[in-house]
Amino acid sequence: MTQFDTIIRSGTVATASDIFSCDIGIRDGRIAALGHDLGTADEVIDATDRLVLPGGIDSHVHISQPSGPDVVMADDFESATRSAAFGGNTTILPFCLQEKGQSLRQALKDYHALAEGNCHIDTSFHLIISDPTEHVLGQELPGLVADGYTSFKVFMTYEGLALADREILEVMSVARETSALVMVHAENYDAIRFLTDRLELAGKTSPRYHATSRPIVVEREATHRAISLAELIDVSVMIVHVSNRESMEEIRRAQAKGLKIFGETCPQYLMLTEKDLDGLNMEGAKYVCSPPPRDEASQAACWEGIQTGVFSVFSSDHCPFRYNDPRGKLTPKGKTSFRWVPNGIPGVATRMPILFSEGVVKGRIDLNRFVALTSTNHAKTYGLYPRKGTIAVGSDADIAIWDPKKKVKLTHVLLKDASDYTPYEGLNVTGWPELTMVRGRCIVTDGRLVGGKGFGKFIRRQAYRQESSGREL
């Protein structure tokens, strides 16, 4: 009888804290041993000259999400989890959106039905709170946190999603009472509407003006306000998809004060600028996302936030729409303004290769920080650790084997999503995940999908541990 189902031999193993050479013995979907000369296995994978890393966890993706009249998100659970696996990810956390008038329980029931039997890798859900009624706040949210839905997102912008400050405070209060974590999309809705109306009156309606309608100040103001509200309630929050220095500095100051404020940034804020929105005809719509890409100084500031720990997680904010589709980036007939272009870009498969190439290979960050930013910190922040996010005895055998020297030119065909473009077309990267393993089963190897859909499981998460100041409300 063999001792293990699988042994990964002769690789260089990296975690968020260590780098070492050893073999990994896998049994029943979990890591059973770390060492040398581990004995026999049904399958042996040679990882010589390869990096053996915890599988990526992307804690900010949008899949099969209602996106408004006449708009359809490109990816469903099958295509999104497939693409994620090709990018070295083993777990993703999409958002279950509560629409106005809908109960959270019903929203979750419907969302689980979309995911059931369709996932190649593991998933867990955040909740988007758009209608914080007394029933939602008093009964549904506390019950759902107890059931393992331990994070929820609030929006400070978007029609039908933006919450008033009082509503945000109510949601934050529930989070404090239940040890949940609040994620905040921080942009000032009224300021954006004001600027959008002015631009349209002036005939400035092409995609490039999307960035003009959402300048840095509207993100910085909302970031400051979200932090102030969190301080008032004494609750932990994650400010998501930060794009610039001013917002990053707001988070840094809060952290220096001892507030439990976390920050996230994304590849688009390292690689794109507002100039990308200035393409011919509607080409710039491919780069419309919120907050918008900024400038090279903002890119440098986001790298600084990564290097200094202001940003603890690096997520894709994968929000895919097809470009050549009137239900996607090409807006319906009669709706010619940037106002109607769906906000979001695809990126779940390119997140880690971009950070590895631009960060590790170019010396901006070390390998341990790469693992922390792409896997371990996500697991710790969102209640998945130590089951996920590390290579340790007892953890799930969620592993990505990387060729650190492989050179790849990014093209959409490599990424296996259901969009019809990538904003990073033609970008050269060094370092690529050759094998992605979820709970001991190979899902992708050598550029081929070898795992069938339906293997991915839904994971219920632990509550985030709030560290209260002790102040009574």
Q: Mind listing the pLDDT tens digit for each residue in 266-277?
A: 999 999 999 999
Closest C-alpha to 400, from 365, 352, 337 = 352
Please determine, for residue 466, whether its predicted confidence score (pLDDT) is greater than 70.
no
Mean pLDDT throughout 358-380? 98
Closest C-alpha to 45, from 307, 295, 401, 470 = 401
Q: What is the pLDDT, as a whole number, of residue 332?
A: 66
The tens digit of pLDDT for each residue in 14-68 reads: 999 999 999 999 999 999 999 999 999 999 999 999 999 999 999 999 999 998 8
Please determine, for residue 468, whether its predicted confidence score (pLDDT) is greater than 50.
no
Please determine, for residue 183, whether its predicted confidence score (pLDDT) is greater than 90.
yes
Mean pLDDT throughout 292-300? 98
Q: What is the pLDDT, as a whole number, of residue 465?
A: 60
Backbone dihedral region for residue 322 (phi beyond 0: left; psi -120 to 50: alpha; all else: beta): beta
Q: What is the pLDDT, as a whole number, of residue 473?
A: 40
Tokens describing residue 66: 């209602």
Rounded percentage of the chain residues whose pLDDT exceeds 90? 92
The tens digit of pLDDT for each residue in 165-174 reads: 999 999 999 9
The tens digit of pLDDT for each residue in 104-156 reads: 999 999 999 999 999 999 999 999 999 999 999 999 999 999 999 999 999 99
Rounded percentage of the chain residues whose pLDDT exceeds 70? 97
Mean pLDDT throughout 427-443? 98
Tell me the CA distances in angstroms from 401 to 197, 430, 431, 472, one per residue in order: 50, 14, 10, 48
Q: What is the pLDDT, as a whole number, of residue 443?
A: 98
Q: What is the pLDDT, as a whole number, of residue 333?
A: 61
The tens digit of pLDDT for each residue in 314-365 reads: 999 999 999 999 899 987 666 778 999 999 999 999 999 999 999 999 999 9
Please, what are the domains in the chain?
A: 55-361 (3.20.20.140)
The overall average pLDDT reported for the chain is 95
Tokens describing residue 451: 């795992």
Q: What is the pTM assigned to this prediction?
A: 0.96
Contacts by 162-171 with C-beta closer than 8 Å and gap 24+?
162/189, 163/129, 163/130, 163/132, 165/225, 165/229, 167/132, 168/226, 168/229, 169/229, 169/232, 169/233, 170/132, 170/137, 171/129, 171/132, 171/137, 171/141
Please determine, for residue 470, whether its predicted confidence score (pLDDT) is greater than 90.
no
Mean pLDDT throughout 70-83? 96
Q: What is the pLDDT, as a whole number, of residue 316?
A: 98
- Specify the range with the lowest mean pLDDT, choosing from 100-104, 184-188, 293-297: 100-104
